[in-house]
A and B are shown apart, each in its own frame.
Chain A
């Protein structure tokens, strides 16, 4: 198991296997983002004016509401993975890295939950 140097401690252990999973999920969510963002851009262009009445009526329909919830999940997941790479590239101190990644998890999960709640509220007609 080596002599206590950094390379000695990890030599022979092989890959952690997290990298390949991260890489694949980044691609899977990218495909989701591609489809859903084209729907979203198309919706913005076809909606005409983006007035409250127009947009809230649109998201009250089942299909747009479903597409928007899927977009939120796919985009926030993809963003979390991308920001994780940014953090891992620039934050090297172990304690700080843990703290920033924990903050990232809280922000992306919290953000996605808020977005989903807003769509549900629009779809189920709870808005004032």
Chain B
């Protein structure tokens, strides 16, 4: 049940917040360097980082549970043990990927 809720929350969360940030970013780029500064100012504030970390977590969570969906769509992984394992593993892997993503960004 948690896997299902996480898939919906992360997907619809990205659809509502993530696409807005994506369009804001593209719009800032298309508007020129001056407005891009304003955008990066917002995004590098503490609240901006919170939004970006949240979106990256939502992305990796939805990616992992989406891949789990593909496996189940072909009829595999319905054994109780297997199903339980991956319903716990996919959000856990997503947290690890989120941490890895930010580690790569902050350490480069």
Question: Residues of A with Cβ closer than 8 Å to B?
Answer: 27, 30, 34, 37, 41, 44-45, 48, 50, 52-53, 55-56, 59, 68, 75-76, 79, 82-83, 86, 111, 114-115, 117-119, 121-122, 126-128
Contacts and interface: CB of A to CB of B under 8 A. Distances in A.
Interface of B: 8, 11-12, 14-16, 19, 22-23, 26-27, 29-34, 36-37, 40, 59, 63, 66-67, 69-70, 73, 101, 104-105, 108
A115 B26 contact: yes
Contacts of B11: 79, 82
A89 B33 CA distance: 43
A86 B108 contact: no
B31 A127 contact: yes
Given A115-B23, A115-B26, A79 B32 contact: no
Contacts, number: 73
A41 B22 contact: no
Contacts of B105: 44-45
Give the secondary structure class of A's interface. Answer: helix
Q: By DSSP majority rule, is chain B's interface helix, strand, loop, or mixed?
A: helix
A37 B33 CA distance: 25
23 contacts: A27-B70, A30-B69, A41-B101, A45-B104, A45-B105, A50-B40, A52-B29, A52-B32, A52-B33, A68-B26, A76-B19, A79-B11, A82-B15, A86-B8, A111-B23, A114-B23, A114-B26, A114-B27, A115-B26, A118-B30, A127-B29, A127-B30, A128-B34
Nearest to A76: B19
B32 A127 contact: yes
